[in-house]
A = this chain, B = another copy of it.
Amino acid sequence: MFQYKELQNIINNEIEQLNFNIEPFELYKPIEYVLSGSGKRLRPVLTLIACNLFSDEISKAIKPAIGLEVFHNFTLLHDDIMDKADIRRNKPTVHKKWNDNTAILSGDAMMIKAYEFFFSLNPEILAEVLPVFNKTALQVCEGQQYDMEFETRLNVTVEEYLQMITLKTAVLLASSLKIGAIIGGANEKDANLLYDFGINLGLAFQLQDDYLDVYGDVKTFGKQIGGDIVSNKKTFMLISAIEKAKDENKKRLFELINSDNFENAKKIQEVTDIYNQLNIPFILKEKLDYYHKSAINNLNQISVNNDKINILSELSKELIIREK
Residues of A within 8 A of B (CB): 23-24, 26-27, 78, 81-82, 100-101, 104-105, 107-109, 111-113, 115-116, 119, 122-124, 126-127, 130-131, 134, 137-138, 141-142, 144-146, 148-149
Is B109 a contact of A134 with CB atoms below 8 Å?
A: no
Is A109 a contact of B141 with CB atoms below 8 Å?
A: yes
Further pairs besides A105-B144, A105-B145, A126-B126: 8, Cβ < 8 Å: A23-B142, A26-B149, A82-B101, A82-B105, A105-B141, A113-B138, A116-B131, A127-B127
Is A24 a contact of B149 with CB atoms below 8 Å?
A: yes
| 5 A–B contacts from the bound complex (CB under 8 Å) | A82-B101, A105-B148, A108-B108, A111-B111, A113-B138
Question: How many chain copies?
Answer: 2
* Interchain residue pairs A-B with the least CB separation, the first 4: A123-B127, A123-B123, A27-B145, A109-B141
The CA-CA distance from A232 to B122 in the complex, in Å, is 49
A179, chain B: closest CB distance, angstroms: 15
- The listed residue (B112, B122, B137, B138) touching A134 by CB distance below 8 A is B112
The CA-CA distance from A146 to B105 in the complex, in Å, is 11
Residue of B nearest to A144 (CB): B105
Residue of B nearest to A121 (CB): B127
Interfacial chain B residues near A24, Cβ < 8 Å: 142, 145-146, 149
- The listed residue (B27, B78, B108) touching A105 by CB distance below 8 A is B78
The CA-CA distance from A100 to B275 in the complex, in Å, is 35
Is A119 a contact of B138 with CB atoms below 8 Å?
A: no
The CA-CA distance from A26 to B147 in the complex, in Å, is 12
The CA-CA distance from A148 to B82 in the complex, in Å, is 21
Interfacial chain B residues near A26, Cβ < 8 Å: 145, 149
Interfacial chain B residues near A146, Cβ < 8 Å: 24
Interfacial chain B residues near A105, Cβ < 8 Å: 78, 82, 141, 144-145, 148
Is B134 a contact of A115 with CB atoms below 8 Å?
A: yes
- The listed residue (B112, B142, B149) touching A111 by CB distance below 8 A is B112
Known: A82-B101, A101-B148, A142-B24. A130 touches B115 (CB 8 A): yes
Is B108 a contact of A78 with CB atoms below 8 Å?
A: yes
Residue of B nearest to A122 (CB): B127
A128, chain B: closest CB distance, angstroms: 8
- The listed residue (B104, B115, B116) touching A82 by CB distance below 8 A is B104
- The listed residue (B111, B113, B131) touching A119 by CB distance below 8 A is B131
Interfacial chain B residues near A145, Cβ < 8 Å: 24, 26-27, 105
Q: Please indicate which of the listed interface residues A26, A122, A130, A141 has the most CB atoms of chain B within 10 Å of its own CB.
A: A141
A248, chain B: closest CB distance, angstroms: 35
A14, chain B: closest CB distance, angstroms: 19
Is B109 a contact of A138 with CB atoms below 8 Å?
A: yes
Is B111 a contact of A108 with CB atoms below 8 Å?
A: yes
- The listed residue (B104, B142, B144) touching A78 by CB distance below 8 A is B104
A19, chain B: closest CB distance, angstroms: 14
Residue of B nearest to A71 (CB): B112
